[in-house]
Amino acid sequence: MGRRLLYGVILTLVLAIVWLLLSGMWWHGIITGLGVASVIMSIYMAARFGVIDGETVPFTNLVRFGSYWGWLGGEIFKANIDVVKLSLAPDLNIKPVMTRVGVTEGSDLAKTTFANSITLTPGTVTVEVEEGGFLIHALDESFADQEAFIDMGKRATRAADGEAG
């Protein structure tokens, strides 16, 4: 019960901060009241659905996720350069491939983070989630490096679950 309360408090604070930042309404009477009501209603519904836990409120993992997002940003930058080089090549010798990447370990949050990271990286898209992994479309066979996918999966698991992966 203690962890659920902690997650509930963290989720309340995050929702309130996000609402304040996005609305820009620091104190405008009824508008702020409606913002408070929306945060309270969101927390109430999440509690009723029983989804306030470590996976739906991953804010306790911000340091690990921050490190992962920094690494992923670098990978996205490098992949952008590779896609531009490939698309501007005079011969345009692109060889798209479909590949499977096995995923057996990690929580649902880790797997979701991994699948979304693949899709965020230019040149690759997670096409299908299968029982033991993902089906991935790569713009070129050079983007279908299994070792790179395995490394990304381990990093996603470490960020989400705190495990070595």
pLDDT digits (tens, 9 = 90+) for 15-28: 888 888 888 777 77
Q: What is the mean pLDDT of the chain?
A: 88
Cβ-in-10-Å burial (0-12, 13-18, 19+) of 36 comes to: exposed
57 part of a folded domain: no
- pLDDT tens for 114-134 read 999 999 999 999 999 988 899
Q: Are residues 72 and 153 in the same domain?
A: yes
- Domain identity same for 22 and 81: no
Give per-residue pLDDT as tens, 65-109: 889 999 999 999 999 999 999 999 888 889 999 999 998 788 888
What is the average per-residue pLDDT within 50-65? 74
Determine, yes or no, domain membership for 56: no
Per-residue pLDDT band for 156 (boundaries 50, 70, 90) equals very high
**How many structural domains is the chain composed of?**
2
Same domain, 44 and 69: no
Q: What is the pTM of this model?
A: 0.71
Residue 57 has pLDDT above 80, yes or no: no
Same domain for 39 and 96, yes or no, is no
Long-range (24+ apart) CB contacts under 8 A made by 13-20 are: 14/57, 14/59, 15/39, 15/42, 15/43
Give residue 103's domain range: 62-161
